[in-house]
Each structure stands twice: as C-alpha cells, then as structure tokens.
C-alpha cells in the first residue's frame, strides 16, 4: 500500500470538539493529538485517519502561520473554498450513522450523475463540507 502523499489540513475554532465529532460521526480515528501544555483546549496539531487516509487539523489561534497564510475558518471566511472527498463502501449507511451522530446532511445519499456510484454531502459543525462516496477515481471504470 502506497501511503497518500496529499493530506488535507484544517483549522477549527474548537478543535477538541471537531476531533470528537469527526471520530464519532464520520469514523475517523485519532492517530496523534498534540495539545498545548499551558491550555489543553488548544490542539497544536492532530492527525486523524480514515482507513488508510489521513487529515491533519489544529486549533485556530493567532500565530505566524495564521498571519503568513491569511488562514481563516470557514465561518470567518463566510464560505468554503474546497471540500474533502472520501471513498467509502456504503454511503447510505455512512450517512445514516453521521446523521444519527448529529451531522448536518446537505445532500443525499444520491446516485452520482455522470460517473458510477453513490455519495452524500455533509457539513461538520464548523461548516467544512465533506463528500463521502463509493466512486473511486483510482479504480478502472469501463
């Protein structure tokens, strides 16, 4: 298995709550979570896995990286500029689980238009949009 070389990185106002939600609603697992020694509510860096994939996240806080990147949370920006797509086996069951865990389902589950599979779109509590679907763009389709 080749490990993914692209890993999305996110910022959250309440990173501990985001970690809890992503694990409970979407099935992520904590790989590593590094908290600020002076304030454990601040997540300096976290790594969460979903199957063989990973995301990284941290607490939104003033620092040189925030200033350098002009980093804003989705709510601060007032929009999204990207979404994360995750390949899963059963979008219907995943959506039902996420909804039961309090996720805001935006659309679906639905049949993909123009390519195979099913998917659904969901927002996390801070407004990041996630798409979970059975379409695997790496697989051969014919």
Number of H helices, E strands in the chain: 4, 8
Nearest of 9, 29, 24 to residue 102 by alpha carbon:
24
Q: Which residues, 6 or more positions from 115, have their beta carbon under 8 angstroms from its beta carbon? A: 135, 141
What percentage of the chain has pLDDT greater than the value 70? 96
Using CA of residue 11, residue 98, residue 121, residue 5, what is the dihedral sign?
positive
- What is the pLDDT at residue 59? 96
What does the mean pLDDT of the chain come to? 93
> 50 or 5: whose pLDDT is higher?
50
Task: Return the number of other C-beta atoms located less than 10 Å from residue 142's C-beta.
Answer: 2
Tell me the mean pLDDT in the region 62-77: 91
Q: Could you read off the pLDDT of 14-42 as tens digits, one per residue?
A: 999 999 999 999 999 999 999 999 999 99
Count CB atoms within 10 A of the CB of residue 35: 16
Q: Give mean pLDDT, residues 70-86.
A: 93
Q: Tell me, what's the pLDDT at 42?
A: 96
């Amino acid at each position: 298995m080749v490990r993914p070389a692209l890993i999305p990185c996110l910022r959250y106002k309440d990173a501990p709550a985001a970690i809890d939600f992503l694990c409970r609603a979407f099935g992520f697992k904590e790989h590593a979570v590094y908290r600020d020694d002076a304030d454990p509510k601040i997540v300096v860096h976290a790594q969460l896995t979903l199957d063989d994939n990973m995301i990284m996240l941290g607490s939104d806080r003033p620092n040189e990286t925030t200033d350098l990147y002009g980093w804003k949370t989705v709510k601060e920006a007032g929009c999204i500029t990207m979404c994360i797509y995750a390949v899963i086996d059963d979008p219907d069951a995943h959506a039902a689980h996420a909804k039961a865990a309090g996720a805001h389902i935006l659309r679906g589950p639905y049949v993909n238009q123009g390519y195979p599979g099913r998917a659904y779109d969901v927002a996390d509590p801070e407004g990041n949009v996630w798409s979970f679907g059975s379409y695997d763009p790496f697989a051969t389709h014919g």
